[in-house]
Structures are given as structure tokens and as C-alpha cells.
Amino acid sequence: MSNSFAIIADKIFTGDQWLNNKAVVINAGKIESIVPIDDLDKSIERKNYPSCILAPAFIDLQIYGAFEKLLAVYPEADALVKLNNYCRSGGAAHHMPTVATNSQSVFLKCIDAVRDYWSQGGEGVLGLHVEGPWINPVKKGAHPEQFIYKPLLQNVKELVEYGKGVIKIITLAPEICDKEIIEYILAQGIVVSAGHSNATYDEAMLGFANGIPVATHLYNAMSPLQHRAPGLVGAIFDHSTVRSSIIPDGHHVDFAAIRIAKQVMKERLFVITDAVTETDAGIYKHHFTNDKYEADGILSGSSLTMNKAVKNLIKHCNVEAGEALRMCSLYPAQVMNLHNSLGKIEKGYSASLVILDEDYNVKDLL
């Protein structure tokens, strides 16, 4: 037991259930066991967190920058260091830096930045989320139209091959991209997410049938649910397995709309922050306004952290605390096929854990 230590908190949420009077024993970065506190070896080191919750660390699959260093403007390792620090402050030990529609050179530089960050031993970054430029200009949101286009397979191959091992998610509009493009991206082990799309219900369902498993920020920048035109939102609701991210900041989506979506989608709905940072450089001029960011008067990003998202889900969306924690940990892990190592407190899983106080403020992160 010399290399082991135990974490003790008032309540433990394993990802499946709530436990009391238990300790989590960790050895070499892995969860070794969950045992009654009274059964702990007397010689083992103990880390006590009274009046706290121990839960799986959060995973944010869409975030653009932090501390005035937007990755697309500063495609360098230091921007990812700052991003990692921001994510950790909100309880996210793992995250997916995101670059929105931009020039090809910016995408390539962001790929290089991730590789450089990893080569320096940087932690937390799971890979790169490429959002656009193969989206529908009708639903561009804050994305600049001059860089949006319908791709040929060769365009896609050039970016994907350069980003091999780095690009892990691509958001695209299914009605803009041919079936062979979607199949090619999926075959490279990259998650395809439907977003910034004006797809009809039928077009969206065809995209899902072609293998698209996920959608990007439900409701935002997508064809809405209407009674004679169910759109992408309706297709997501109606599908049995497609997941979607959502931004629970109260600005991107009304809390009532989140409650409705949760009732329909249940475990298929997961959280992203979609957080940006103040910047005057580059093509995205994000400015902080009333607890959110705008670019040229258009809502362009949130100021969320993952623990704030948990609070909002519990307080405003009638989501049970354990389910709110799953939406920020286990479900994102499932999207990335990491659910056998992250998102649960279970023997053999990574000891990637967050300690929260009773108000869901972050006290510590492993």
C-alpha cells in the first residue's frame, strides 16, 4: 500500500450511484478500490475533504480559448496551457480545444500547436475540435462567411491527413457534405457532429443514417423544430441514439428549452461550455457582455465553466445532481469512446476526479 493513498469525502458519486462512508484508494494514477472508511489500512495516506462531493472529473468537448488567448489567434502551446488552467478551475481535467471556421493556415497552425503542447508534456488536451468550415452559411452564427464552403473529398483529406492523431471531432452541416465525405471522416476515427446546419428533417435523418453520431450545441445554429418542418432539432429529438451537446448558460438556450430537451433525450444530452475569451485580434472579435460574449452584436460564446453548468442544470433545469454530473463527465466520455477509462469512479479507471463543495464549487482536481 506504500504507493497508494485514499480520498475521503462526505459523498461519492461514482457515475452510477451515491456512496457514503466510503474511501477511494488510488495507486499509480488508477482507482484501485472503493472501500468502507473503517476498512482502510491504518498506514495509508489519507486526503480528507469534509462536507464535499467526490465525482468523476468533467470533460469539455468544445472550448475556444481562455485568459485573452483565443487558440485561433494564438495557435501556440501557451494558449493551451491557459486553456487547460481555465478548464481545471471549473473541474474539467480533460477538454477539446476548438477552432471555428477560419483559413486553412489557421487550422494547420492550431494542429501544430496541439502537437507542440503534447511534446512539452502538456496534459488535459484530448485533441482538436474543428468546427467548420463545411457548414451552411444560412446558420453560420458568428462564423465568417468568406471561409465557409462546400468541400470536395480532396479538401477534406488534406486537412484530416495533416491533422492525423490530433483532430478528434469535426462539426459540419450534413446537407453540405456528401456521403463519401462523412464516411471518410468517420473511417479515420474522427467523431462527426452535425451543426451550423439548415438541414431538413429528412436531410438530418439521412446524415444520421450515414453514421453521424452527434450534434453540436442543440438549438443554436440549426434548423428549429416546427410543426410542419421538424428540422435538425426535430431529427435529433426523434432519433434513438444520436447525442447532442448543449450550452446551459441561460443565454444560448432558455432553461425551459433545456428541460424540454432533457425530457426527450435523457442520457443523449451532454454539456459543453462553448467558452471563448476577450479578443480584438483575428476574425472573431469576442467581447464580454452581460456574462456572455458577442462578436459584432452576435452571440459568439459563453463564459461558462463546467461546474457552473452543473449548478445551472440543478438549479434551473430540474436535473438531479448525479445526472447533472454525468452530463459533464460520463456522457462526453461516451461520445469520445473513453467511457472505459473516464467518467466513472470504478476499479481500473483513471483517477481523474473532482472534489466539489456542497454548492458545487471546485475545491480540488486530480
Q: Which residue in the list 10, 178, 274, 364 is annotated as catalytic? A: 274
**Neighbouring-strand partners of residue 54:** 12, 355
Output DSSP code: residue 145.
G
Output DSSP code: residue 10.
E
Give the number of other Cβ atoms within 10 Å of residue 112's Cβ: 16
Task: Tell me how far apart the alpha carbons of residues 300 and 189 are, in angstroms, rounded to a whole number.
Answer: 29
Task: Tell me how far apart the alpha carbons of residues 287 and 299 are, in angstroms, rounded to a whole number.
Answer: 10
Task: Tell me how far apart the alpha carbons of residues 344 and 118 are, in angstroms, rounded to a whole number.
Answer: 25
Task: Tell me how far apart the alpha carbons of residues 70 and 173 are, in angstroms, rounded to a whole number.
Answer: 24
Q: Which ranges constitute the DSSP H helices of the chain?
A: 77-89, 104-119, 153-162, 179-187, 201-209, 231-238, 255-265, 306-316, 321-327, 330-335
Task: Tell me how far apart the alpha carbons of residues 220 and 224 are, in angstroms, rounded to a whole number.
Answer: 9
Determine phi and psi for 179, rounding to 5 degrees.
Answer: -55, -40
Question: Given its phi and psi angles, is residue 277 left (phi above 0), alpha (psi -120 to 50 degrees) or beta?
Answer: beta
Residues 6+ apart with CB under 8 A from 363: 49, 52, 355, 356, 357
Q: Is 39 a catalytic residue?
A: no
How many CA atoms, within 13 angstroms, populate the side-chain half-sphere of residue 16?
Answer: 5
First to last CA, the chain: 19
Cβ atoms 239, 201 nearer than 8 A: no
Determine phi and psi for 18, rounding to 5 degrees.
Answer: -95, 135
- Catalytic positions, please? 274
